[in-house]
Chains A and B, each alone.
Chain A
């Protein structure tokens, strides 16, 4: 029995915690329904969303934080990114280093807002899809987009720095 307990402790120590957001307690409190912001409509024109959602200006430093945060972007679950202080980067999506030299701002915005517009079978979560279009959402997340309008713009601004 001693031996087995030791083995378990080693196992647990070796395993990093948290795959997707829900594996790890999120620091963000659930907003009350009245705090949920109004949904901003957007349009896919030639696989691009040309203008910022809600006309907001993105903050790249905050966008980097949103990308790391497991309860928000959690981009590192699937992508390698130039964020060396974070240990584990997933590999199911393409590396994002240099992404701004491959796509312009509007193309990046569509990819964050809803990758399904480009690939209906994608694994990438649609960060700003209309909440009515989801099925069987856990209570805690009902009626909400994954990211807020400001967070989408922050992430886009951050990706634009990855030349």
Chain B
């Protein structure tokens, strides 16, 4: 009986190791592991509670700023002149700073610089709504973050933060769960690869839309670690690495997750 349990675990581990190597070539979305009801909720825009945030973002996108312009002035009605393929490449190298910039930071910057509005807080509900609206325009596009050239050192730093940096009293790294054990249960929840292709997404456990940097901090919190501030250098590097790690996945914004 005891031996049997150990053997079963051994087989599970072997399968996990094998599938881990398959996954590294073949990334998979957290969607794959959802219960049927949750999948249906995500797939149906009437059931998907994240759509309310996308709609709110659409209204902000059309709203006239302090200087008389709206996002639509330059990007067309409903953002139709924005190129979904470009949205799927974020974070990108910012030409001014020569550092990576996340999609949400880019939007926050334009909100003040191009519309003359008061600054938006990172991960605030308006910033998330705008990001969700813009990323929803690229739903179905394949994540395609550039990691070569000038991005190399940033990608490597992000990788280190994700793969190696142990943190918290439980002393874990992101990779400790999301690289080693996807497909296996932690208590009752099956671990995914911790991919970012669905963000901003509707979290049932929170009853609201959360951004990827909020989710990163929720995981840090689970292992009793202090997260990095929103919009910080570290979170930008983590988001860069996470999005690039999911290159090839389809954007699902707004995804629905537990």
Binding site for B on A (CB under 8 A): 3-4, 7-8, 10-12, 14-16, 18-23, 76-78, 80, 87-92, 94-95, 97-98, 101, 116, 121-123, 125-126, 129, 131, 134-141, 144, 146
Contacts and interface: CB of A to CB of B under 8 A. Distances in A.
14 contacts: A4-B46, A7-B41, A18-B187, A20-B187, A21-B224, A22-B223, A89-B187, A90-B186, A95-B6, A125-B169, A134-B169, A135-B225, A136-B167, A138-B226
Contacts of A138: 168-169, 221, 224-226
Contacts of A87: 188
B3 interface: yes
B37 A7 contact: yes
B204 A8 contact: yes
Interface of B: 1-3, 5-6, 8-10, 12, 35, 37-38, 40-41, 46-47, 49, 165-172, 176-177, 180-181, 184-189, 191, 204-205, 221-226, 258
Nearest to B47: A4
Contacts of B226: 136-139
Given A97-B2, A137-B169, A19 B221 contact: no
A89 B186 CA distance: 8
Contacts of A15: 188-189, 204-205, 258
Nearest to B228: A136
B233 to A, nearest CB: 15
A7 B39 CA distance: 11
Given A3-B47, A134-B171, 4 more contacts: A20-B186, A92-B180, A121-B180, A137-B167
A123 B35 contact: no
A76 to B, nearest CB: 7
Contacts of B8: 95
B187 A136 contact: no
Nearest to B8: A95
Contact of A123 (B177, B189, B224, B225): B177
Contacts of B177: 92, 123
A101 B157 CA distance: 44
A20 B181 CA distance: 15
B221 to A, nearest CB: 5
B187 A19 contact: yes
Given A20-B170, A129-B171, A11 B41 contact: yes
Contacts of B172: 123, 125
Given A77-B186, A136-B226, A123 B6 contact: no
Nearest to B40: A7
B41 A125 contact: no
A126 B169 CA distance: 9
B2 A92 contact: no
A12 B204 contact: yes
A155 B223 CA distance: 20
A38 to B, nearest CB: 18
B2 A11 contact: no
B9 A23 contact: no
A92 B49 contact: no
B36 to A, nearest CB: 11
A5 to B, nearest CB: 9
Nearest to A137: B169
A97 B2 CA distance: 6
B223 A20 contact: yes
Given A11-B204, A92-B181, A123-B181, A23 B258 contact: no
Given A19-B222, A77-B186, A92-B185, A98 B176 contact: no
Contact of B169 (A23, A95, A122, A146): A146
Nearest first, the 8 closest Cβ-Cβ pairs linking A and B are A98-B2, A88-B188, A95-B5, A16-B188, A141-B169, A125-B170, A20-B222, A123-B176
